[in-house]
Amino acid sequence: MSELRVQPLVLTDQDVVLVTGGTGLFGKAVEHVVKQDNLPGSWVFLGSKDGDLRDLSACKALFEKYKPTYVLHLAAFVGGLFKNMNFKVSFWLDNVNMNNNILSCCYEYGVKKTISCLSTCVFPDKIEYPITEDKLHVGPPHFSNDAYAYAKRMLDMLSVWYNEQAVREGKESRFSSVIPTNLYGPHDNFNVENGHVLPGLMHKCYKAQKGGSDFIVYGSGKPLRQFLFSHDAARMLLWTMLNYQSQEPIMLCVSEEDEKSIGQVAQSIKDAFNFSGNMIFDTSKADGQFKKTASNAKMLRLNPTFKYTPFDEAIKTTVQWFLDNYETARK
């Protein structure tokens, strides 16, 4: 079977697309693109207030209520390097419970297509670069985020097993996943201790500017990351939902040439805030994995006309969103 549908899937007004994690960074970006492109169908963006997805009966109640035809499963217990190192049991239990509940409901309630979200953090630590989709299970993950990594890897396996079962039982349900690199954008978690590096640095730069203090960047600033704007990730995810029909995961990332060091992105943030004070690297803090360079070759082979938002423009949009929404932003 070809990786691409012969004709893209056409949503109708009878379709219900349930987006778990709909109140988070990625979910809000999907909502933004769905509205901007005026996509048909009923779109339901769920947050944890709508139901705790770790609880099977809460999940079933949501599926009974909305009767989704498609599910984008983005909800997860998420965090940056430091949260990953400190809350491993929750990273495993919460994520495995949510994933098992959502995928089992998708199968039981006959959802036609479910796309779940993995992460490039979950690939093996010792790996040949660039990382490609087929290397997900070929070695142990980095110790700093092993709990999150194994939970995501089991989500991939559960998708495979449900596909096998669906074929055996003659059911229409199909399961696949996307694998984003580091995401950033409006509605991110700007908490300095628990969030990811870009929103954490934005918040720290904001505070340094307000308080006239130094801008502290954790670690050496040397590790490399591929940062993907959440609106670009959302466009790729929606493209995947409508066009891609393979069960193999597909990477969502910028090209290898656009990989940046933490020091470089800290400088871009400093520029976006017009911060003229000192930028200091606190090398007593962990660097985490040095790099996890991923290949966007598969996405660009299948979707060659995709246009990325330029990095500096996306940083400015995110900083402006943070400034405009400072009081209510997660921080």
Among all residues, which ones are annotated catalytic?
148
On whether the CB atoms of residues 77 and 90 are closer than 8 A, the answer is yes
Under the binding rule (CB under 6 A), the answer on residue 291 touching ligand GDP is no
Q: Specify the residue for token string 């609106």.
A: 231
**Cβ 274 to ligand NAP, closest distance in Å?**
26
Window 117-156: contact mask with ligand NAP (x via CB under 6 A): x-x-------------------------------------
Report 172-201 residues binding ligand NAP (CB under 6 A): 180, 182-183, 189, 196
State yes or no: residue 21 binds ligand NAP (CB under 6 A).
Answer: yes
Residue 217 makes contact with ligand GDP by CB under 6 A: yes
> Among ligand GDP, ligand NAP, none, what binds residue 262 when CB lies within 5 to 8 Å by partner kind?
ligand GDP
Which stretch of DSSP H or E encloses residue 104? helix 88-108
Q: Which residue in 24, 141, 200, 219 binds ligand NAP (CB under 6 A)?
A: 24
Of residues 11, 17, 74, 269, which one binds ligand NAP by CB under 6 A?
A: 74
Alpha-helical (H) ranges within 169-304 are 197-211, 230-243, 262-272, 297-302
Per the CB < 8 A criterion, the answer to whether 247 and 312 are in contact is: no
Collapsing DSSP states into helix, strand and coil, what is residue 220? Answer: coil
Interface with ligand NAP (CB under 6 A), residue from 11, 17, 23, 232: 23
Are the beta carbons of 209 and 275 closer than 8 angstroms?
yes
From ligand NAP, ligand GDP, none, interface partner of 82 (C-beta below 5 to 8 A by class): ligand GDP
Phi then psi dihedrals of residue 95, to 5 deg: -70, -40
19 binds ligand NAP (CB under 6 A): no
225/210 Cα distance (integer angstroms)? 28
What DSSP string describes 116-181? EE--GGGS-SS-PSSB-GGGTTSS---GGGHHHHHHHHHHHHHHHHHHHHHHHTT---EEEEEEE-
Q: Is 216 in the site for ligand NAP (CB under 6 A)?
A: no
Binding site for ligand GDP (CB under 6 A): 80-82, 121, 182, 192, 196-197, 200-201, 204, 217-219, 223, 225, 262, 285-289
